[in-house]
């Protein structure tokens, strides 16, 4: 991305106001970087944040995890998985504006599918889950800034974005949610491969570029998750899958039959999440 355009985007994002990385996330990441992390300190840091600890307890107390306390969750699930869950919950809490519940429901489904697909394809599930949640984090921030942004989204969803999702945003606002999301990821100190994948997940040249394979894997898995979610919730193809599906299948070395199998198998996963 040209340096001038990035600086313009950073000024715009600064005006919107990126939520600061919560203290609990900083504490977890600090422990995660240590050779011998202290899980007791991790549990204590989570417990000090009432909102995050309540949301985490609700998540880990579900039948999927089957645990009943924060210390038990940290010990059973491990620091990597707990850090992913806490970071995800912190993002949602920080951007929990009224009227966008449907956006977060969709993001949660896509993040879940990203992790599931990553496991199926032999990639890191925690990174895929974080990517799935953060990749569209720029959308609620643009909603805060521009009163007509929801109408722009409706135009894109109705097929008005022939040149691509971010091209419509750029034409309207001079910035797009992928750039904004990349800046959020950088400010939250997410790994560089995640930041680049978020910033480039609508880049039509990505799979022809020299980008790291891990970046391409994340973007490919994210688009496949978006396609699966769209087929199951709206009974239609995702617009970005129609643009990039062939390139994604070629990169992941998958055929249409295999994608169809994943789509069918994911149905029960999504059904469980809706109960």
Decide which of 13 and 137 is more confident: 137
Task: Judge whether residue 6 has pLDDT over 70.
Answer: no
pLDDT value at residue 89: 86
- Considering all CA atoms of the chain, what is the largest pairwise distance in Å, rounded to the nearest integer? 52
Angle between helices 192-199 and 177-187 (to 10 degrees): 170
- Tens of pLDDT, residues 64-108: 566 678 888 888 888 888 888 888 888 888 887 777 888 888 898
What would the two tokens of residue 166 be?
């971010």
Q: Is the pLDDT of residue 125 over 70?
A: yes
The whole-number average pLDDT for the span 243-259 is 95
- At 217 the pLDDT is 97
8 A C-beta contact, residue 119 and residue 125: yes
Burial of 145 (0-12, 13-18, 19+ CB in 10 A): middle
Cα 165 → chain centroid = 16
Residues 143-151, mean pLDDT to the nearest whole number: 89
Give the model confidence (pLDDT) of 192-241 as tens digits. 999 999 999 999 899 999 999 999 999 999 999 999 999 998 898 998 89
Q: Which are the contacts of 258, defined by CB distance < 8 A and separation ≥ 6?
A: none
Which of 178, 176, 142 lies closest to 15 in space, CA to CA? 142
Q: Which range has the top average pLDDT, 109-118, 150-159, 179-188?
A: 109-118
Least confident piece of the model among 7-11, 42-46, 91-95, 231-235: 7-11
Predicted confidence (pLDDT) at residue 162 exceeds the cutoff of 70: no
Task: Enumerate the H helices of 33-188 as residue ranges.
Answer: 39-48, 50-60, 70-77, 79-94, 101-121, 125-134, 138-145, 149-155, 165-173, 177-187
Q: Which of 91, 80, 86 is nearest to 20 (CA)?
A: 91
Q: pLDDT at position 61, please?
A: 67
């Amino acid at each position: 991305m040209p340096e001038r355009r990035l600086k313009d985007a950073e000024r715009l994002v600064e005006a919107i106001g990126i939520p600061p990385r919560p203290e609990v996330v900083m504490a977890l990441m600090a422990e995660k970087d240590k050779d011998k992390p202290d899980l007791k300190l991790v549990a204590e840091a989570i417990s000090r944040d009432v909102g995050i600890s309540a949301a985490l307890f609700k998540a880990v107390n579900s039948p999927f995890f089957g645990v009943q306390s924060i210390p038990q969750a940290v010990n059973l699930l491990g620091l990597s998985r707990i850090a992913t869950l806490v970071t995800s919950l912190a993002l949602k809490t920080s951007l929990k504006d009224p009227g966008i519940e449907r956006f977060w429901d969709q993001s949660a489904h896509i993040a879940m599918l990203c992790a599931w697909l990553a496991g199926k394809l032999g990639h890191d599930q925690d990174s895929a889950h974080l990517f799935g949640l953060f990749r569209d984090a720029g959308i609620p921030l643009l909603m805060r800034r521009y009163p007509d942004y929801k109408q722009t989204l409706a135009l894109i969803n109705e097929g008005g974005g022939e040149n691509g999702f971010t091209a419509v945003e750029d034409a309207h606002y001079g910035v797009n949610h992928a750039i904004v999301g990349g800046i959020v990821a950088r400010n939250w100190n997410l790994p560089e491969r995640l930041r680049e994948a978020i910033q480039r997940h609508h880049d039509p040249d990505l799979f022809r570029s020299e980008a790291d394979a891990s970046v391409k894997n994340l973007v490919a898995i994210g688009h496949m998750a978006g396609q699966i979610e769209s087929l199951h919730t709206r009974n239609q193809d995702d617009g970005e899958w129609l643009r990039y599906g062939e390139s994604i299948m070629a990169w992941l070395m998958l055929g249409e039959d295999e994608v169809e199998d994943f789509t069918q198998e994911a149905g029960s996963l999504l059904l469980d999440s809706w109960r």
